[in-house]
Structure 1
Amino acid sequence: MATYGYARVSTTDQDLTIQREALKAAGCEVIREEKISGISRQGRKELETLLEFLRSGDTLVVTRLDRLARSMDDLSSIVRELQSTGVSLRATEQPVDTSTAAGRAFFQMLGVFAEFETNLRKERQMEGIAKAKAKGVYKGRKPSIDVAEVKRLRNEEGKGATEIAKQLGIARTSVYRVLHEI
Structure 2
Amino acid sequence: MMKIGYIQSTSKSEIEEQSELLISHGCSKIYVETSKELSFKLKRKLQEAIDSLSSGDILAVTRLSILCISVQSLLEVLFELNDKDVTLEVVQQKFISKDTHTLDELLLYLIEFIDDIKIEKQVYGISKAKANGVRLGRPPKLTKQQVLKAIELKHNQTSQNVASRFGVGRSTLLRHIAKQKKAS
Cα gap change, 1:18 to 1:122, in 2 (>3 Å):
closer
Q: Residue 85 of structure 2 aligns with which residue? A: 86
SS at match of 2:21: helix
Q: Does 1:6 align with 2:22?
A: no
* 8 Å contact kept, 1:40–1:71: no
Q: Residue 18 of structure 1 aligns with which residue? A: 17
Q: Residue 28 of structure 1 aligns with which residue? A: 27
Deviation of 1:113 after TM superposition, in Å, equals 3.4
* 8 Å contact kept, 2:60–2:88: yes
* 8 Å contact kept, 1:88–1:98: yes
* 8 Å contact kept, 2:63–2:93: yes
Moved segments of 4+, more than 4 Å: 119-123
Q: Residue 59 of structure 1 aligns with which residue? A: 58
* 8 Å contact kept, 2:7–2:32: yes
Larger Rg: 2
Give the aligned residue type for 2:7: A
Identify unmatched segments of 5+ residues in structure 1.
137-182
Cα gap change, 1:117 to 1:53, in 2 (>3 Å):
closer
Distance 1:38 1:102 in 2: 30
Q: Please give the TM-score of this superposition, normalised by the length of structure 2.
A: 0.58
**Count of matched residue pairs:** 131
Distance 2:29 2:102 in 1: 23
* 8 Å contact kept, 1:4–1:60: yes
SS at match of 1:79: helix
- Show CA shifts across 1:103-135 (max 9, x none): 897456423432255347768x7xxx9xx9xx9
Distance 2:104 2:31 in 1: 26
Q: Sequence identity of aligned pairs in percent?
A: 24
Deviation of 1:99 after TM superposition, in Å, equals 1.2
Give the aligned residue type for 2:21: A
SS at match of 2:101: helix
Cα gap change, 1:96 to 1:105, in 2 (>3 Å):
farther
Distance 1:121 1:26 in 2: 24
Distance 1:103 1:33 in 2: 32
The alignment's C-alpha RMSD in Å is 3.3
Identify unmatched segments of 5+ residues in structure 2.
130-134, 140-184
* 8 Å contact kept, 2:65–2:116: no
Q: Please give the TM-score of this superposition, normalised by the length of structure 1.
A: 0.59
Give the aligned residue type for 2:41: Q
- Show CA shifts across 1:140-181 (max 9, x none): xxxxxxxxxxxxxxxxxxxxxxxxxxxxxxxxxxxxxxxxxx
Cα gap change, 1:4 to 1:113, in 2 (>3 Å):
same
